[in-house]
Structure 1
Amino acid sequence: MDFVNYCYLYLLILLYVTIKESDLTSLQVIKFEVPEKVVAGNSTKLICSTGPDFGRLATIKWYRNDSEFYRVQFKPPRMKTFPAVGIQINEEKSSKGIVILDNVTLETAGNFRCEVTREMDFTTHEKNGTMDVIEMLPPLPGDSNQSSTPLSRTTIFIIAITSVLMLTC
């Protein structure tokens, strides 16, 4: 083989290795879970995973209402939290694709977004979902058959504005 053929062969091998390394597949979030409704005071789980591609990811970032509150970096491996009102992360139970939020409050509600970034070419993919927080009202005194009633933040606000109490002495 002459020099030109070696160069072509080298370029073909280099192209093959590059294609093999990137797998020519698009980055996708294959499992995404944000609960639609969570009871205030409870814990909840947020899930964002890309499957077996974890080794090639650079970061997984979580946002609530466009403010980042949690990040997993893969090289070097590190988890980082950012302060956010109503967000209390259980760092011991959280992992690469799972975030555990403890003691959910009405302020926790919002639009949650997960963004994954691939290490090789820094392509990103994201998914989002909305979570509402429900506050359970205690049963009325003396009514043992009544269970707690769920009220959302919107309902509580409407009750506060429209409630009128009339007493007769």
Structure 2
Amino acid sequence: MSSYNNLTFLFFVITAFVTITLDECDGLSNVHVTVPQYKLRGEIAFLQCDYDLDEDKLYSVKWYKDDEELYRYMPRADPPQHSYTIDATRVDHHTSDSKKLVLRPVSLRSSGVYRCEVSAEAPSFASAQSEARMQVVYLPKDDPMISGEQLQYQIGDEMSLNCTSGKSYPASVLHWYINDQKVESPLQLVKYPPQVHPHGLMTSWLGLHFIVGAHHFMDGSMKVRCIAVVSPVLWQGDRESVVQRMTPALIDNREALLLVKASSEKRHANIKLAVLAVLFAANLI
């Protein structure tokens, strides 16, 4: 290629670049989407696509969910709106328009990345896009449940408990606390994979296992708590279990145990609370 041809080619490259830059500055620009980061299953989701056309004329607005076209708006088409059902995600045509996309109701499968692509008519044929992610959440209807507990423990006993969350999506994250101190040791925590239910809901399980020591008891009682958290902190529930320390002399003596309950109002209240915690965990009250 001659030097003249090289200069001519370079000229066209520079000209094209300048032309595209000017078109973007004077025409379609500033495409920005507003997508709710989190929605509850069954709610209505309002997604917004804002843009500046300046001197351009709108050709189309297209919404994509995870790279699949979900909705398009073309002002010159008849009708101007057209939508597709993707992963049970449905578009409400009555309230959607050239800048707003309304989904009702959202399901767990509505979670994903939503992209708005705006195109201008001739002569610019400019196109710009923006995207954001929406996560659909299902919050538990039930508190976490503690199982495996006994009414009383003595020093040296093994305590083995299980905490079960209510059904949720995403899966609940469980934490154990002993006397308001979070259990961090992996030797005391027994982790299980979450159980997946129909329609994608999940149940979490977390075990707690340790040897009961004197330091665990405060004023003769110990408080064990399980907290279930759905991330982000949209929902939090807890369930407390209070267990009563049992001295060696009272292991097999029911009457003595009853005397201890009657002789101390505070101890009596702790034992009664322990019974209530167990009954509540078993859905008996």
User: TM-score if structure 1 supplies the norm length?
Assistant: 0.68
Aligned to 2:94: 92
Name which of structure 1's ranges 43-52 and 89-98 shifts more when overlaid on structure 2: 43-52
CA distance in structure 1 between the aligned counterparts of 2:107 and 2:55, rounded to whole angstroms: 31
Q: Secondary structure at the match of 2:109?
A: helix
CA distance in 1, matches of 2:172, 2:117: 32
Report the alpha carbon displacement of residue 52 of structure 1 after superposing the two structures with TM.
5.8
* Identity over aligned pairs, percent: 21
135, 139, 158: which one aligns with 2:138: 135
Find the counterpart in structure 1 of residue 37 from structure 2.
Answer: 36
Residue 107 (str. 1) matches residue 126 (str. 2): no
Residue in 1 that maps onto 2:68: 67
The Cα shift of 1:139 comes to: 3.5
- Residues 111 and 130 in structure 1, CA contact (< 8 A), matched pair in contact too: yes
**In structure 2, distance between residues paired with 1:66 and 1:159:** 29
Deviation (angstroms), 1:33: 0.4
Runs of at least 5 residues in structure 2 that lack an aligned partner in the other structure: 1-22, 145-165, 174-192, 197-203, 208-285
TM-score, length of structure 2 as denominator length: 0.42
Once the two structures are overlaid, the 10-residue window that deviates more, 74-83 or 97-106, is 74-83
1-structure distance, mates of 2:72, 2:48 = 13
String of CA shifts for 1:24-75, please: whole Å, max 9, x gaps: 5142244420111111110010111214659711000000000001000022
Distance 2:54 2:75 in 1: 12
In structure 2, how many angstroms separate the alpha carbons of the residues matched to 1:54 and 1:61? 20
- Please state whether the residue corresponding to 2:89 is helix, strand or coil: coil
- Which of 65, 81, 84 lines up with 1:82 in the alignment? 84
Taking a change above 3 Å as real, the CA distance of residues 48 and 33 of structure 1, as seen in their structure-2 partners, is same
Count residues in correspondence: 137
1:152 corresponds to which residue? 169
Deviation at 1:76, TM superposition (A): 3.2
Structure 2 CA distance for partners of 1:112 and 1:24, relative to 1, 3 Å: closer
Structure 2 CA distance for aligned equivalents of residues 138 and 54 of structure 1: 52
What is the alpha-carbon distance in structure 1 between the residues aligned to residue 76 and residue 101 of structure 2?
Answer: 19
How far does residue 153 in structure 1 lie from its aligned partner after superposition? Answer: 3.0
Q: Residues of 1 paired with 2:81 and 2:55: CA distance?
A: 15
Q: Equivalents in 1 of 2:167, 2:95: separation in Å?
A: 28
Partner Cα distance (2:29, 2:142) in 1? 45
Aligned alpha-carbon RMSD (Å):
3.2
Q: Which moved more, 1:29-38 or 1:97-106?
A: 29-38
Classify 1:160/1:119 alpha carbon distance in 2 versus 1 (closer, same or farther; 3 Å). Answer: same
Aligned counterpart for 1:126 among listed residues 101, 116, 129: 129
CA distance in 1 between counterparts of 2:65 and 2:38 reads 15
Question: Given the superposition, is the C-alpha separation of residues 58 and 151 from structure 1 closer, same or farther in structure 2, using an over 3 Å criterion?
Answer: same
Higher Cα Rg: structure 1 or 2? 2
Q: Which has the higher contact order (CA 8 A, sep 6+)?
A: 1
Distance 1:68 1:154, change over 3 A: farther
